[in-house]
Amino acid sequence: MTYTAAVSYLYSLQKHGIKLGLDTMTALAGRLGMPQSRYRSLHIAGTNGKGSTAALTAAMFQAGGYRVGLYTSPHLVEFGERIRVDGRMISESDIARLTELIKSISEPDVSPTFFEFTTAMAFQYFAESQVDLAVLEVGLGGRFDATNVVSPLASAITTIALDHQQYLGNTLESVAFEKAGIIKPHVPVILGRLPGEARDTIERIAGERDAPVFCLGRDFQVEGEMPARFKYSGFGMRYDELSCPLLGRHQLENCACAVSLVETSRRDRLAVGESAIREGLREVQWEGRLEIVQRDPLTVLDGAHNPAAAKALADYLRTFRLSNPLSRVILVLAMMRDKDHRGFVECFTGLVDEVVVTQADVTRSATADELLPLVGETWPRARRNARVTGALADARHLARPQDVICVTGSLMLVGEAKASLRGCGLSRLRG
């Protein structure tokens, strides 16, 4: 099978959409010989911040000399971004080979979704690559997510907020219940700063499973204003003068959860020294989250797509404006149709000066015409341009060198923007 044929096959699986449940994944893993049992793993869920926490955790273990697999989703530009070993993307030839393998063991009686298929691919690739550790980001929820067939050293739940309500429920308690599905008996779980009702739900479930719980703000602490300089304390350790290039105050909490995951892994002989913790935090790369891609004007890509993430982004933009009082903020906005458009947009009231509404080239995307009336309630001069490249050009036309252009509302939009700015192609595989 060629890489082109593999992409076409994977693209055909996307028509299956989302199918929560573990039966298919269990069958696939069994037919592959349970590859996920051949290495140790860490499992990370959360409404927001789970990808950043996974990238941070992987970076510290890699700096400590371990061979590390990292599985995240979605990708931004290239499919291979989802599956990495020591920071390097899976090759096109390995994608083609593993697609053929998993397709052959699926037929004729197992019909995996796109995400189930790619999760099986990641498990197999990590086993073949002989990783010491795989850091796995949950795709959606936790309890019935395809990744939830692993038996990890530790788990983490970074944040709880309303998102994907059609799958996870309409209350914080119901979302927390689904996320808590990754908690395994006697396996430690790290919790970020969660709303009280969500934390109570998770701690109750952890108690039922005799899983030790370690909470940010109670069992470990982070101090600082920004990730560029902060302190961490917990598990009998204290690290001063830590530094991380990821932008936004919210990344402090992701850093803290990642360091805590590293610390809890010591009991399983995966020791990471202080120098590796410092190096991993300092050298981590994680695209599409407050990522600066151009200057004069400053152009920032951020995949925020729900109100909780929008608040974190708005906090960064507010801090930027305080330091640059003559700057204006120009928003390039696109969102998926099933997201809380009003709740997202309201986070930027009084902060944004101009808005260019656009749409990602995926069927789930709200059209620019659908978003414009809502946006126009707050910004009557808002513009629309259905093409992402055109919307970026409109934003640059509006911007002065001292202004900031922020592209946000969807990781699908961020991927298209990155491809446009790089001048490269975009994978047919999206989402």
Q: Where are the domains of the chain?
A: 3-283, 291-422
What's the pLDDT at 266?
A: 83
CATH of region 3-283, choose from 3.40.50.720, 3.40.50.2300, 3.40.50.1100, 3.40.1190.10: 3.40.1190.10
Tokens of 307: 């109100």
CATH superfamily name and code, 291-422: Mur ligase, C-terminal domain (3.90.190.20)
How far is 382 from 195, CA to CA, in rounded Å?
35
Residues 6+ apart with CB under 8 A from 141: 20, 45, 164, 167, 168, 178, 179, 181
Do residues 48 and 161 touch, judged by C-beta distance below 8 A? yes
Residue type, 394: D
Q: What is the pLDDT of residue 164?
A: 67
DSSP string, 262-294: HHHGGGGT----HHHHHHHHHH---TTSSEEEE
Q: Can you give the pTM of this predicted structure? A: 0.95
Please determine whether the domains at 3-283 and 291-422 fall in the same fold group of CATH.
Answer: no
* Cβ-contact 51, 72 below 8 angstroms: yes
Which residue from 291, 229, 284, 290 is spatially nearest to 262, judged by alpha carbons?
284
Q: Measured between alpha carbons, how far apart are the two ends of the chain, in Å?
A: 23
What is the per-residue pLDDT for 424?
A: 87
Quote the CA–CA distance of 59 and 56 in Å, as a whole number.
Answer: 5
* 306 Cβ neighbours under 8 A, 6+ residues apart: 47, 48, 161, 162, 163, 339, 340, 343, 344
**Which mean pLDDT values do the consecutive 10-residue runs of the chain (431 residues) have?**
94 78 94 98 96 98 98 96 98 98 94 96 98 96 95 97 72 93 97 94 97 97 96 95 96 98 87 96 96 95 96 95 92 96 96 97 95 96 97 97 97 96 87 75
Reduced DSSP (H G I as helix, E B as strand, rest coil) percent helix, strand, coil of the chain, to 5: 45, 20, 40
Q: How many CA atoms, within 13 angstroms, populate the side-chain half-sphere of residue 381?
A: 8
